[in-house]
Amino acid sequence: MRSINGQFTDGISAAVYDVALSLDYSSGHLVVCSLPEEEELDRWEFSDIVVDSQHGGERYHVHQGVHTGGMITSGSQALLQALVAEGCPQKTVAGDRNPAAFILTLSVAIALVVSGIYLSLPTVSRELAEVIPLHYERALGVNIEGILKWTYCESEEAANVLTGYANLLGPERAGSWEVHITTGSTPNAFALPGGVIVFSAGAIDQSESLEEILGVLAHEIEHVERRHVLSSVVRSTILTSLWSLTIGDYAGLMVIDPNTAHNIANLKFSRDLEREADAGAIKRLLANNLPVEGLGSFLKRIGHGNSAMPEWFSTHPTTATRVQALSEASSRVQPHPALPGNGHTHTSLAADWDLVRASCVKTIEAEE
């Protein structure tokens, strides 16, 4: 190969020299000679050379070693091809040579990985939730409660009544349930990990009887007992952490931050989990001789689930579907096997309802 012109820096000073470049195949070197004297300045072994060709092919840079200072700049395609033919590695940006194929392949791969994660996440979350000890779950619930900083407005008597019913409906954790009523006119009820169940004052206000509240209470207890709440927290944490790790936002790795805490407070369970909770609630109510129609009538009134949306698209079963399912379940199910059985009667539901309903009245009036 005839000599080719280029520019050379020696890595000792910042000066740049005009040089003539040639390949010595017998010794396996790239030879650098000064111009115009053609005095040999340096020679690099082919095995030391790395070619950077990220500039659209007009110019490229030849480096001696990965981090040593010597560098040659040239625009000769003949030299580039000769160096590559001698086995000199050529650095390019991923996808530079065939961007469309690269982008398509990677996009499909990312879609497959994300789909795999999304599809396996519910199962993985439930398995992980099962192995978390109850006291850790309780501590998590207390932590979330602390972040959310709600204002509870129930009276002590109302709290005792509702907690008493919770211990009845959820004997597996009797003594560790807590039921609160928070200010807020929007009807809502949810459970935190560990057994804290919260009703909004709006839910109490829109209910017409204690039976309806007990139906919702049994439903939320079933969510907690089946670890739906905890597995949803685990799922949310995994998704948030994966996203943070992917984009490099390490601050997002905080397990519970205010945003996550609020999301937990507004969790929407899948349709299957909601059906499970509905069926389990019926069993719990039946086992304690409590009316089972309350949950259905409450849902009908509130319009829970988005009836305007096709059910297959919604995370909730439609209200009509749930009410029908509740009605069918109440006619055929047996008492919950884990519960002590029938025989417990209640004669003061009306009195208890008056107590609960009066609990946050002043707060609701103030908001209105």
Footprint on this chain of another protein (rule: CB under 8 A): 7, 9-18, 34-37, 39-43, 52, 54-56, 61, 63, 66-67, 69-71, 73, 93-96, 99, 102-103, 106-107, 109-110, 113-114, 117, 242, 244-248, 250-251
Structure tokens, 185: 């006119």
CB-nearer residue toward another protein: 42 or 205: 42
Q: Smallest distance from the beta carbon of 253 to another protein, in angstroms?
A: 9
Closest CA to 74 of 1, 3, 4: 4
Within 8 A by CB and 6+ apart from 223, the residues are 191, 229, 269, 273, 277
CB-nearer residue toward another protein: 61 or 283: 61
Q: Smallest distance from the beta carbon of 252 to another protein, in angstroms?
A: 11
CB-nearer residue toward another protein: 102 or 152: 102
Structure tokens, 285: 């109510």
Q: Smallest distance from the beta carbon of 339 to another protein, in angstroms?
A: 37
**Contact of 145 with 262, CB cutoff 8 Å:** no
| Cis amide bond preceding 36, omega within 30 | yes
**Contact of 24 with 86, CB cutoff 8 Å:** no
CB-nearer residue toward another protein: 61 or 316: 61
Q: Smallest distance from the beta carbon of 193 to another protein, in angstroms?
A: 19
Half-sphere exposure of 233 (CA within 13 A, CB side): 27
Report the alpha-carbon distance of residue 244 to residue 251 in Å, rounded: 8
Q: Smallest distance from the beta carbon of 157 to another protein, in angstroms?
A: 30
Report the alpha-carbon distance of residue 47 to residue 52 in Å, rounded: 15
CB-nearer residue toward another protein: 42 or 257: 42
